[in-house]
Structure 1
């Protein structure tokens, strides 16, 4: 049996966890956890938890010894079943061989320090993972907890969120001075970015600091950061929830044109929008561009489905219209004033792109978007003459191309309580999808 003990955020160990540690023959954990484990026998073997594979190998070798040699105890931060080592241990040794004693997670502790609930928070790990997913989630949601790691800390997160309007709360050395039940009373510092370097937090106690993204980007935070909260402080209080995590998806999409403010019917019709959304596949953690946004109807719908969205519009009144529609639907959309493809060079790479405008520049715009899109590009056109050039641009960028001509007729009333069919203008919808990467040397 392997006993996994969550510690490190100030709460004392349970009696069972303490007894397991007192009878340990092998203890695996980070340096600070091992140093704080005062009830560990002097005779116990110690393995510092750095790279995971050697630690798992050491555990496997120890399990082959007689049972009277003492049990295996793994010390981990907070709740080891929440983005923690329980996953790796269960995969290697089986869940039935684990006895898990969870501590209080860094996420729960950080929100507790602020006096905020977190059942409505989105939690995303950037530890050992690309930061872009965390950035996209922070842009799309008002309450996010980011588990950080080397190269994906507060400075990098702040640099990517400079224009987001968010506030970052950097929680460092949570529970410092109270590890493994050795005591309590750790101090909590709050600051505005002018406090001393939080790299000393492990010596001076925990720190919980509110900073702007720009202030976070300018700091060297050191290794003591526990978690970073990214907040839209105007929306951190939410109604009573039934389901934890991000809000449920919208009850409907492809909304009627009347749900948006638009000019002279310059809006992507809901039939076209429905198929475009199906091909874009916007989702939590991804970034979508809406090029030639107009009213921003596609941008708003993608944001309602959880994606971070950038809408590019060349007219100032169009930019304001996009912002007004986003606000009316309670979502975040970054509206950029400028003409594609020139303005695109300053934007983070997208996962998917919708192009609803472009005129004579359309082939160049499609080429620029298709080169940078990670997954798909969807293009809506009314003019038949532009279809071949758009298709060629998608294919030249290595995307698998397909498309349809959408022609629909809507029910419309006539005098005498009868109904006719009113045809909408036909629209060509082309899409390119990046084929999955193939590993060299692996049979397909």
Structure 2
């Protein structure tokens, strides 16, 4: 039997856990966990947990002989902890798990906040970008930190984003002397050296949904009950909006989800950006006109989502650190270097564009991790866009969408009213990722 003991956050081992350690032939744990054990039986082997594979091999040797093994871990070892690796190797039936209080629960408790409505994401040994995108998309997030993925890195990534976020950095939780729980801005977090005592970082947008609410399902809210919303759900200018039939297929090909980053290029009303955000993705919308950018922001606010809007008619007009070339009237390919100011997207939607559309598609396709979707009305641009997608190494497909909607006629009868045909092309990277572990709901 392998007894897995969560040491909690500063609490002493309970009597039954102390007894388990006293009867063990092998005790495995981080150096700080082993130092905190009051009694270690004479002759027991102690293994300082570093690389996981050698420790599992050592445990297997003792398990094979029928000897007692104790594994010490932080907090709740079944929550992003060692229980997963042990169960995969030895089977859950061989584990006696005795959890402590997790750092996430403790951090929220220090603030007097519920966390049944929080999203928890691990950046420990995982891609930081997923945690950052979750922080961009959701108002209450806990990030389990790791080397290279601490408060400074999280703060730097969020400092130029939308909304007003507060980072709560919880360090050395449970230590009567060293524990710190500090509220800082992302910029302040980015400017500090936090050392290695950070337990968890909470990212809060206190303007959106952090107040206590009654919840039924823990974690991120359920997805919207519908998408491809009617155009009447958005403010737009002269029907300049991606129609819902086109939007429905575009969303299906973009596949926006929690942890993703989506670019909406030439956003117009921002209908695609808003829908992607409603489905859980972090979104950057690029729009050249000030009134268009304001319209995107207004539509995002009306639907209760956070969309970062990048505005400008040339690279020099765009905000520092988020430069992007104007997307329908680029003056040569040199302006495409402005894309470097944004994080690589998982998916890109490009709606419209002028003579430089193929160059825009090429630049976006080179950066997209998964897919690029392009909507256009002009037949003449289809071959060049298709070539741009395939030239960037994407598998290309597409359709011409032609739909007719029910429309009333006098006399209580109905006719079919045709909408404008739209070409929708999409390119998908052959090595598309299947997903990353790290988000707990």
Which residue of 1 is the match for residue 343 of structure 2? 348
Tell me, yes or no, if structure 1 residue 62 matches structure 2 residue 57.
no
Q: Is the 8 A contact 2:369 2:432 kept in 1?
A: no
Q: Is residue 2:58 matched to residue 1:72? A: no
Cα distance in 1 between the residues matched to 2:205 and 2:42: 49
Is residue 2:297 matched to residue 1:335?
no
- The Cα shift of 1:369 comes to 0.4
Alpha-carbon distance between aligned partners in 2 of 1:126 and 1:206, rounded to the nearest angstrom = 21
Q: Render the CA deviation track for 1:109-167: whole Å, top value 9, x for unaligned.
A: 00000000001111001101110000100000000000111111111111111123311
Aligned to 1:263: 237
SS at match of 1:420: strand
SS at match of 1:90: helix
Map of 1:31 onto structure 2:
31
Matched residue pairs, number? 409
How much does 1:8 deviate? 3.9
Q: RMSD across aligned C-alpha pairs, in angstroms?
A: 1.3
Partner of 1:22: 22
Question: Among 206, 219, 223, which residue is 1:249 paired with?
Answer: 223
Instruction: Indicate the SS of the match to 1:223.
Output: coil
Residue 253 (structure 2) aligns with: 279
* Equivalence for 1:183: none
Instruction: Return 5+ residue gaps in structure 1 as ranges.
Output: 177-185, 187-203, 439-444
Shift of 1:39: 3.0
Give 3-state SS (helix, strand or coil) of 2:399's partner. strand
Local SS of the residue matching 1:24: coil
Q: Which TM-score applies when normalising by structure 1?
A: 0.90
Distance 1:64 1:404 in 2: 60
**Conservation of the 8 A alpha-carbon contact between 2:357 and 2:385:** yes
In the alignment, structure 1 residue 418 sits paired with structure 2 residue 418: no
Q: Aligned partners of 1:321 and 1:260: how far apart in 2?
A: 9
Select which of 283, 288, 291 maps to 1:314. 288
Give the equivalent residue in structure 1 for 2:198. Answer: 225
Aligned counterparts, 1:102-141, within 5 A: 102-141=99-138
SS of the residue corresponding to residue 220 of structure 1 reads: coil
Alignment of 1:115-264 (within 5 A): 115-164=112-161, 165-176=164-175, 186=176, 204-235=177-208, 236-264=210-238
Q: Which residue of 2 aligns with 1:40?
A: 40
Could you tell me how far 1:437 is from its partner in structure 2?
6.8
**1:359 CA drift (Å):** 1.0
Match of 1:434 in 2: 429
Report the Cα distance in structure 1 between the residues aligned to 2:84 and 2:384, rounded to whole angstroms.
Answer: 49
Q: What are the equivalent positions in structure 2 for 1:294-309 lying under 5 Å apart?
A: 294-309=268-283
Range with bigger deviation, 42-51 or 143-152: 42-51
Tell whether the 8 Å contact from 2:28 to 2:49 is kept in structure 1 after alignment. yes
CA distance in 2, matches of 1:263, 1:374: 32
Ranges in structure 2 where 5+ consecutive residues have no aligned partner:
313-325, 328-335, 434-441
In structure 1, what is the equivalent of residue 91 of structure 2?
94
Q: Indicate conservation of the 8 Å contact 2:139/2:203, yes or no.
A: yes
Q: State how far apart, in whole Å, the 2-side matches of 1:66 and 1:325 are.
A: 63
Q: Retained in 2: the 8 A contact 1:380–1:430?
A: yes
Q: Which runs of 4+ in 1 moved over 4 A?
A: none
